[in-house]
C-alpha cells in the first residue's frame, strides 16, 4: 500500500506557536493550528508574547514558555486526530535573533527527556539565563557601536556578516549579557537561537543553527557560511565553544526524541531536522525559490523580500542578507512606516475606508504633479531616520486625494530606491498583506517597480515553508533529491485573476521621479521638517 508522505512544520513566533501539516502527494495543507502564548499559557504573564519590563527598550520572553507551548501543540494535534504516527519529518522556524542561554547540563537533559514529566519539568537546571532577549529588544545600542567599530565600520560589518550591527541581532545581545551578567555568561555552555532551541527539544540533541537564522546574529560569515572569528572576538570571550555548528536548514539531525514518540504517538522513524528563522521560512512558504523573485508584504510595516544567487550586501547597512533555506541568499528590507502610516493619512483626511482611499488614489495622475510626501510618522528603519517627521514637497496639505497618492508613491519609490543594491530585476512581484487587496495601490506598485504584480494569500507562510523544508530534507536524505521549484508548486500559487501589469507611460514618470524622490529624502534627513 502506498504510504502518504506527511510532513510537519512548526513556527515559534513572537506571539504564537503554529503547526502546518502537508500531504506531499495530494499537495494539500491537511492541518493548521495556532496557539496563542498569552491565552494558552497565562502563567508566564506575557503580553503579546513579551515579558513585562520597566525599561521600554528591553524585550524578553521565556524559553520555558516556548517549551511548554511545544507540549501543548503536540497534545492539541493528538486530540485533533492528526496522523502523528505517519509524519516522516518535522522542521520549523523561530522568531529571528532571540537567544537562549544553556548550562553544561543541557546535553544530558535533552538526551533523557522523560515522557512522564512535562518538557518544562525536564528542563530544570538547563537555563543559565531565565529569560531570552527577542527581536523587539533595542537595548544594545552601545554594544552595536562597539562591535561595528571593531569590525571596521558599517560597510565591512555588512559585507562580512550580511548586516550592519542592529540592536536586536544576537551578537550585540550576547555582548550585553556578557558585560552585565558575567557570572551567568560564564555558566553558559551553549547559546541557541529560538529556532535551534526548539529543534534541540525535538531531536533530543543540541541542534545546529542554519545559514538563514545564523545570518541574523552578526556572527556568521555570510559568504563562507561559517562562524566569523573576528566577529566572535569582537562580541564576547569564549564564544567559539558556546556556539553550535552551522548547517543547512532542513538537514537531518536524527530521529525525533523518544519523548514525543511515547507521549504523543509521533512516528519513531520521523526525522528531526534543522530549523531556520521565520523570514527565511516565509521565503520558501511564499514560493520564492529562483534568484530575482520578490515579494512585498504590505503590513504593519512594509517588508521587501527578495532572493539572490550571489551574495550582494548593502553598503549603507540598511538591508539584511540571510541564507535562504532553498540555497543562495535572501534579503529582507523593513520599512517601519507601512500600513500604520497609511492609516494615519486616512484618518487625517477622514476617509471612510480603504476602498475610498483607493478611489482617491485612482483619481490622481501618476507622479502627482511632482507632489511628494515623506511619511515618517515614526522613526524609520529604511532610510535611517531617527527623528520622526512628515515632510511635504510641492504638495498641498489640503488636497486629500493628492496626499493619499503621495504617501503610497513615496513608500513604493523608497522601496525601489533602497532595494537597488540587490541588483535584481524581478519578473514579477508577489504582494501580500492588508493593502494587497487594493487594486489602485497595486497599480502604483506595478508602475513604480515596472513589474507585473500578483497577489498571494499566505496565512502561515512561515509554518508552511517549514513543512516544505522538512519534506526537502527528508527527500534528500532518502536519495530522492527534488528541486525546490517542484516541491513548492501547488502550495504557493498566486490568487487567480489578481495580476496587475505596469502601465508604460506611468513607469516613465516614475523612472524620472526617482532622483527627485531621493533628493527629497536627502533634504528631509538633513533639513528641517516642512
Q: Which residues make up the interface to ligand XUL (CB under 6 A)?
A: 13-14, 95-97, 135, 168, 216, 277-279, 332
The C-alpha cell that represents 110 in the structure block: 535533552
Q: How far apart are CA 69 and CA 63, in angstroms?
A: 10
Task: Please say which residue, 170 or 411, places its beta carbon nearer to ligand XUL.
Answer: 170
Q: How far apart are CA 256 and CA 272, in angstroms?
A: 5
* Residue 414 CB, nearest approach to ligand XUL (Å): 18
Q: If DSSP states are collapsed to H, E and C, what string results for 340-398? A: HHHHHHHHHCCCCCHHHHHHHHHHCCCCHHHCEEEEECCCECCCCECCCEEEEECCCCC
Q: What angle do CA 52, 53, 59 make, to 5 degrees?
A: 85
Q: Is the peptide bond before 60 cis (omega within 30 degrees of 0)?
A: no
DSSP assignment of 47-77: BTTBB--SSTT--EE-HHHHHHHHHHHHHHH
* Residue 230 CB, nearest approach to ligand XUL (Å): 22
* Residue 39 CB, nearest approach to ligand XUL (Å): 19
* Residue 95 CB, nearest approach to ligand XUL (Å): 3
Task: Please say which residue, 97 or 129, places its beta carbon nearer to ligand XUL.
Answer: 97
Taking phi over 0 as left and psi of -120 to 50 as alpha, with beta for the rest, 125 belongs to left
Q: Which residues pair with 305 in a beta bridge?
A: 295, 332
Q: How far apart are CA 381 and CA 366, in angstroms?
A: 26
* Residue 278 CB, nearest approach to ligand XUL (Å): 5
Task: Please say which residue, 277 or 371, places its beta carbon nearer to ligand XUL.
Answer: 277
Q: How far apart are CA 132 and CA 61, in angstroms?
A: 5
* Residue 279 CB, nearest approach to ligand XUL (Å): 5
The C-alpha cell that represents 173 in the structure block: 545581545
Residue 369's CB: how many other CB atoms inside 10 A?
Answer: 12
Count of all residues that appear for the chain in the document = 530
**Judging by beta carbons within 10 Å of its beta carbon (0-12, 13-18, 19+), is residue 124 exposed, middle or buried?**
exposed
Task: Please say which residue, 135 or 264, places its beta carbon nearer to ligand XUL.
Answer: 135
* Residue 135 CB, nearest approach to ligand XUL (Å): 4
Task: Please say which residue, 319 or 366, places its beta carbon nearer to ligand XUL.
Answer: 319
* Residue 168 CB, nearest approach to ligand XUL (Å): 5
* Residue 245 CB, nearest approach to ligand XUL (Å): 22
φ, ψ at 389 (rounded to 5°)? 175, 145
Q: How far apart are CA 494 and CA 430, in angstroms?
A: 7
Q: How far apart are CA 144 and CA 159, in angstroms?
A: 16
* Residue 332 CB, nearest approach to ligand XUL (Å): 6
The three-class DSSP label of residue 287 is coil
Q: How far apart are CA 163 and CA 216, in angstroms?
A: 8
Q: Provide the CA 234 distance to its chain's centre, in angstroms.
A: 25
Task: Please say which residue, 122 or 235, places its beta carbon nearer to ligand XUL.
Answer: 235
The C-alpha cell that represents 385 in the structure block: 531616520
Q: How far apart are CA 89 and CA 300, in angstroms?
A: 33
* Residue 312 CB, nearest approach to ligand XUL (Å): 18
* Residue 433 CB, nearest approach to ligand XUL (Å): 13
The three-class DSSP label of residue 339 is helix
Amino acid at each position: 500500500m502506498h504510504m502518504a508522505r506527511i510532513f510537519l512544520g512548526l513556527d515559534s513566533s513572537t506571539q504564537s506557536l503554529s503547526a502546518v501539516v502537508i500531504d506531499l502527494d495530494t499537495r494539500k495543507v491537511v492541518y493548521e493550528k495556532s496557539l496563542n502564548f498569552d491565552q494558552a499559557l497565562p502563567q508566564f504573564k506575557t503580553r503579546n508574547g513579551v515579558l513585562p519590563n520597566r525599561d521600554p527598550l528591553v524585550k524578553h520572553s521565556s524559553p520555558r514558555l516556548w517549551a511548554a507551548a511545544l507540549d501543548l501543540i503536540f497534545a492539541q494535534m493528538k486530540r485533533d486526530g492528526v496522523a502523528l504516527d505517519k509524519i516522516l519529518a518535522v522542521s520549523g522556524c523561530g522568531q529571528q535573533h532571540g537567544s537562549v542561554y544553556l548550562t553544561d547540563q543541557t546535553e544530558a537533559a535533552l538526551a533523557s527527556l522523560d515522557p512522564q514529566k512535562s518538557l518544562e519539568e525536564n528542563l530544570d537546571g538547563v537555563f543559565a539565563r531565565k529569560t531570552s532577549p527577542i527581536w523587539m529588544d533595542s537595548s544594545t545600542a552601545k554594544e552595536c557601536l562597539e562591535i561595528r567599530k571593531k569590525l571596521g565600520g558599517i560597510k565591512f560589518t555588512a559585507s562580512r556578516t550580511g548586516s550592519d550591527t542592529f540592536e536586536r541581532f544576537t551578537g550585540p545581545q550576547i555582548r550585553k549579557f556578557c558585560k552585565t551578567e558575567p557570572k551567568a555568561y560564564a555558566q553558559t555552555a551553549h547559546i541557541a537561537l529560538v529556532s535551534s532551541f526548539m529543534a534541540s527539544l525535538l531531536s533530543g540533541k543540541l541542534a545546529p543553527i542554519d545559514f538563514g537564522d545564523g545570518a541574523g546574529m552578526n556572527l556568521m560569515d555570510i559568504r563562507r557560511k561559517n562562524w566569523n572569528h573576528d566577529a566572535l572576538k569582537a562580541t564576547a570571550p569564549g564564544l567559539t565553544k558556546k556556539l553550535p555548528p552551522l548547517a543547512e536548514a532542513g538537514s537531518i539531525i536524527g530521529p525525533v526524541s523518544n519523548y514525543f514518540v511515547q507521549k504523543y504517538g509521533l512516528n519513531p522513524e520521523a526525522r528531526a531536522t534543522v530549523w531556520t528563522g521565520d523570514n527565511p521560512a516565509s521565503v520558501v512558504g511564499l514560493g520564492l525559490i529562483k534568484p530575482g523573485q520578490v515579494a512585498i508584504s504590505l503590513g504593519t510595516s512594509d517588508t521587501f523580500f527578495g532572493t539572490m544567487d550571489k551574495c550582494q550586501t548593502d553598503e549603507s547597512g540598511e538591508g539584511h542578507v540571510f541564507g535562504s533555506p532553498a540555497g543562495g541568499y535572501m534579503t529582507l528590507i523593513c520599512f517601519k512606516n507601512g500600513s500604520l502610516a497609511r492609516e494615519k493619512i486616512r484618518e487625517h483626511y477622514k476617509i471612510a475606508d480603504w476602498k475610498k482611499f483607493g478611489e482617491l488614489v485612482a483619481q490622481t495622475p501618476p507622479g502627482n504633479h511632482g507632489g511628494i510626501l515623506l511619511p515618517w510618522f515614526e522613526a524609520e528603519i529604511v532610510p535611517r531616520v531617527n527623528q520622526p517627521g512628515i515632510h511635504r514637497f510641492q504638495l498641498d496639505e489640503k488636497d486629500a486625494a493628492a496626499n493619499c497618492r503621495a504617501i503610497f508613491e513615496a513608500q513604493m519609490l523608497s522601496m525601489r530606491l533602497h532595494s537597488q543594491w540587490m541588483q535584481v530585476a524581478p519578473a514579477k512581484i508577489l504582494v501580500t498583506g492588508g493593502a494587497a487587496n487594493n487594486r489602485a495601490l497595486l497599480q502604483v506598485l506595478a508602475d513604480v517597480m515596472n513589474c507585473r504584480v500578483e497577489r498571494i494569500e499566505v496565512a502561515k507562510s512561515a509554518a508552511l515553508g517549514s513543512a516544505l523544508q522538512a519534506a526537502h530534507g527528508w527527500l534528500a536524505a532518502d536519495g530522492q533529491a527534488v528541486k525546490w521549484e517542484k516541491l513548492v508548486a501547488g502550495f504557493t500559487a498566486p490568487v487567480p485573476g489578481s495580476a496587475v501589469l505596469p502601465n508604460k507611460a506611468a513607469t516613465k514618470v516614475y523612472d524620472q521621479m526617482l532622483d527627485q524622490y531621493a533628493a527629497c529624502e536627502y533634504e528631509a534627513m538633513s533639513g528641517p521638517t516642512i
